Structures are given as structure tokens and as C-alpha cells.
């Protein structure tokens, strides 16, 4: 990818699914967040997340973010809805060029317009994603989980 290549962020449509599936299927092993094992295609088929965007560069889709504005899943606030980010992925060849950040920003701006907070769940020990969300302006929320 050349440094001056333009990146366009737009809403995802059904027609983007094969390409999104292709990007998703290449993310395996350490590359894939342990907290996000579901395939993008299945997530789309079941939930059809309304707040989903893709990034286009050099004439093709190179990244995606799947998410939705949903209700009180985890009781984060008795009355509030939140913009939940379910999955973000960028084609390996296009990573570290700010595309992930642009996708998150588009999602966040839409949350702002709808007056809801943007949220994402990750593993406590996932340093890479902690860095990513920190760099995107996210701060730690109030949810924790218990296990026995």
C-alpha cells in the first residue's frame, strides 16, 4: 500500500460479505483476537449488525467493522443503549496504516450522532488490543466477569 493511497470508509452491504469473509478467514492464530472466535459471516447472518462499515483502498475492500446499537445486554446502565463493536479486521497487507483506527472512528461518530457510548469487550491479557483501543480514545469501562 502506498502512503498516499486514499482510504474510503462506507457502510457495509450484503455485497461486501464475500470480501469480508475473505479477510476474516486469513486472520488465524495469534493474529486473531482470542475473544472473537465467531466468523464474520456467521455474525452477519445471525445479527445483521446495522452499524457496520468497510474500508476501501486501491479499489477493493480491505477492512471491516461489525457492530450494532443494542440495549442493556450487560446492564451497563439501566436506561441506556450502547454501540457494541463485535468485530474489526483489516487485510494483513494493509495493517498498520491507520485503517483500523478510521473504521473505529466512523463507528464512534455514528454512536455520537445517536447519543450512545461505543463499547467493545476484549480479554484482560490482550496487550495488542488494549493498545489499539487506548490509541482510539477508549477508556476502561465498568464490566468485569467472574468465573469459578
Ligand X SMILES: CC(C)(COP(=O)(O)OP(=O)(O)OC[C@H]1O[C@@H](n2cnc3c(N)ncnc32)[C@H](O)[C@@H]1OP(=O)(O)O)[C@@H](O)C(=O)NCCC(=O)NCCS
Decide if residue 88 touches ligand X (CB under 6 A).
Answer: yes
Position among 51, 66, 81, 99 found at the interface with ligand X (CB under 6 A): 99
Burial of 68 (0-12, 13-18, 19+ CB in 10 A): middle
CB of 96 to ligand X, least distance (A): 5
Task: Give min distance, CB of 44 to ligand X, in A.
Answer: 15
8 A C-beta contact, residue 14 and residue 68? no
- CB distance 24 to 12 below 8 Å: no
Residue 129 found at the interface with ligand X (CB under 6 A): yes
Pick from 128, 137, 141, 143: which binds ligand X (CB under 6 A)? Answer: 128
Stretch that binds ligand X, among 14-22, 38-46, 87-95, 111-119 (CB under 6 A): 87-95
Beta strand pairing status for 53-57 and 60-70?
A: antiparallel
Q: Which residue is nearest to ligand X (CB)?
A: 100
Strand order in the sheet with 7-11: 7-11, 53-57, 60-70, 82-90, 117-119
Residues that bind ligand X (CB under 6 A): 27, 31-33, 36, 88-90, 95-101, 122, 128-129, 131-132, 135
Amino acid at each position: 500500500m502506498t502512503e498516499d493511497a486514499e482510504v474510503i470508509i462506507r457502510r457495509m452491504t450484503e455485497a461486501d460479505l464475500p470480501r469480508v469473509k475473505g479477510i476474516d478467514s486469513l486472520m488465524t492464530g495469534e493474529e486473531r483476537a482470542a475473544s472473537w472466535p465467531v466468523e464474520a459471516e456467521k455474525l452477519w447472518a445471525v445479527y445483521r449488525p446495522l452499524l457496520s462499515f468497510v474500508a476501501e483502498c486501491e479499489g477493493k475492500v480491505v477492512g471491516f467493522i461489525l457492530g450494532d446499537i443494542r440495549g442493556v445486554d450487560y446492564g451497563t446502565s439501566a436506561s441506556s443503549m450502547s454501540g457494541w463493536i463485535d468485530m474489526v479486521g483489516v487485510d494483513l497487507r494493509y495493517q498498520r496504516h491507520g485503517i483500523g483506527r478510521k473504521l473505529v472512528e466512523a463507528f464512534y461518530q455514528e454512536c455520537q450522532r445517536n447519543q450512545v457510548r461505543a463499547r467493545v469487550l476484549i480479554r484482560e491479557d490482550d496487550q495488542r488490543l488494549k493498545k489499539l483501543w487506548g490509541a482510539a480514545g477508549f477508556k476502561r469501562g465498568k464490566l468485569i466477569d467472574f468465573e469459578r
